[in-house]
Amino acid sequence: MIIGWEVGLTDGLTIPLFDNLPEDDRATLLRSATSRTCTDGEAVINEGDPGEGLFIISAGEMLIEKATIEGKAEVLSVLSAGECFGELALVDHGPRSATVRARGDAEVLAFEADSLDSFFALHVEAHRSILKNLAVIPSGRLRRLDEAVIESAYDSVLLIDSDFRILKHRRITERAPLIPTVSGKGTDLFEAVPRLGEGVRQNLSILIQADQLARMSLEYENDDGETHYFELTVAPGGDGGASIGIRNVTETRALETRLIQSEKLAMTGQMSAEIGHELRNFLTVLIGHVDLLAINPDIQGSEKGKRSVGIIGEQLERVEKFASGLMEMGQLKLKKEPSHVNLLIEKLISFIQGQRRFRQVEFELDLGEGVPLIEADPGQLQQVLLNLFPNSADAMGAGIVEVRTALNDDRDLVVSVRDTGPGMPDEVVARIFETGFTTKDTGHGFGLPVCRRIVENHSGVIEVETEPGVGSTFTLTFSMGDEAE
């Protein structure tokens, strides 16, 4: 700490608080200051401290922080060399309204309240000048705060003139941008992003001419064939141009789509449960009547009658099981038990291989040794595979289906089903888990959505990789937790 600041050491330092101050008064004030060196993160003043004196940054930077309701520190602004803080103490002498700490190593000049009061009493004009400067300084900080708020809301900010030439473009986040970083000042917006098209130009023109803050959504496919979704906030300027805040909402759109599909699937499940419930009500009545027929003396005396009633009873029981299955499928209730996935796969393939649709399919198994038991609902896991295997068979006609199981590096169980079919185009892959979407003439579009729901109910993930002309691979990954130990 240095008492009595050397005036010459502030040469070249612009101090807005001292603007229009005579050099003698400036020198007198600086000599009354105390120099303080601060290390990175060190607080110079704390929120709630008594408001005594002010500070001027002589080197480095300072962060202004405010505590949120949750008690977290929120950075409001960054101050640079020459700027002051704690200046409100000159006006109201109230407690500090924020915390100020060093951003990296820094130095400040500390002016004590008593010294300032003595100076102002002897230098009235200097006091007035400083008070005028104090009225100007907050406006600059508010402008910076506004910019910070804007930047926190957008991924990039664009300024264009009336001819759609780029005057300024600032990229703020690392999310995929709409405007290439290489676009220079004066570049036509629609030359920088040629895929935008004439329709977007017309829409922007309409919004700018309306001279009101407006928003528009934009779907854009980049040169790599990737589709991104953007939300543009258009603020018209007085010269026919506009400021445009650009936000990449691709991830948000994907989450919304997943939510909608989940709701559709939940509604489908609810319908299945309700149909199953009503069907069981009717079946209960029918089975009751069949039971009465079975003990009817006339039926008892006829072998043919007994046999017919017995067949009707058996078929009704089968339909009742189907109705119960509808209810369970609607609810997808898990009945977990220790399950051996390898054994489940072997038994299932042995069962289906004789069916007509699999007669030209060759199954190749690579079931990892030492794969532990998994806590799962074996019936639901079978249902997933009974969707994947027929899909592969239908896609190939004749070909190979490879089924593999193993533990990955994270000790998660991985089950993969790979076929040698024609593969799928990107537009199909993007929709295969949508409820009701199907590429088959006789398909219903519920198989894969239900598969994903079952896998997710087992804390797992289902993914697909495909290559046209080569085939498709569905990968199921289940977290084993402590089971893999």
426 and 370 fall within a common domain = yes
177 and 307 fall within a common domain = no
128 and 240 fall within a common domain = no
Q: What is the domain-level CATH number for residue 193?
A: 3.30.450.20
Token output for 230 = 């953007």
363-387 residue pLDDT tens: 999 999 888 899 998 888 888 898 8
Does the pLDDT value for residue 107 go beyond 90?
yes
351 and 451 fall within a common domain = yes
10 and 130 fall within a common domain = yes
232 and 285 fall within a common domain = no
Annotate 412-445 with DSSP letters as a single string: -EEEEEEE-S----HHHHTTTTSTT--SSTT--S
Q: What is the domain-level CATH number for residue 418?
A: 3.30.565.10
Nearest-angstrom CA–CA distance, 485 and 481: 8
For residues 67 and 74, the answer to whether their CB atoms sit within 8 Å is yes
218-252 residue pLDDT tens: 888 877 778 888 888 888 876 788 888 888 888 77
118-172 residue pLDDT tens: 888 888 888 888 888 877 776 666 555 555 555 556 778 888 888 888 888 877 6
Q: Three-state DSSP class for 85?
A: strand
Q: Which of 298, 331, 364 is the last residue of a domain?
A: 331
Total tally of structural domains belonging to the chain: 4
141 and 202 fall within a common domain = no
Helices (H) and strands (E) counted in the chain, each on its own, are: 12, 19
Nearest-angstrom CA–CA distance, 196 and 191: 9
- Measured CA angle at 466 (ends 460, 468), to 5 deg: 165
Annotate 334-373 with DSSP letters as a single string: ---EEE-HHHHHHHHHHHHTTSGGGTTEEEEEEEPTTPPP
476 and 409 fall within a common domain = yes
96 and 111 fall within a common domain = yes
175 and 94 fall within a common domain = no
471 and 427 fall within a common domain = yes
Does the pLDDT value for residue 304 go beyond 70?
yes
Task: Name the residue range of residue 369's domain.
Answer: 337-484
Q: Three-state DSSP class for 204?
A: helix
A 10 A CB-CB count for 299 gives 16
Q: How far is CA 29 from CA 23, 113, 149, 167, in A?
A: 10, 12, 36, 43
Mean of pLDDT over the chain:
80
Q: Which of 152, 170, 195 is the last residue of a domain?
A: 152
Higher pLDDT, 448 or 68: 448
416-468 residue pLDDT tens: 999 999 999 988 888 888 866 777 766 656 678 878 888 988 989 999 999 98
Annotate 155-170 with DSSP letters as a single string: SEEEEE-TT-BEEEEE
Q: Which of 229, 248, 267 is the last residue of a domain?
A: 248
- The pLDDT score that the predictor gives to residue 219 is 84
13-40 residue pLDDT tens: 788 888 888 888 888 888 888 999 999 9
Token output for 393 = 């068979």
110 and 185 fall within a common domain = no
For the whole model, what pTM was predicted?
0.39
Nearest-angstrom CA–CA distance, 156 and 159: 10
Q: What is the domain-level CATH number for residue 144?
A: 2.60.120.10
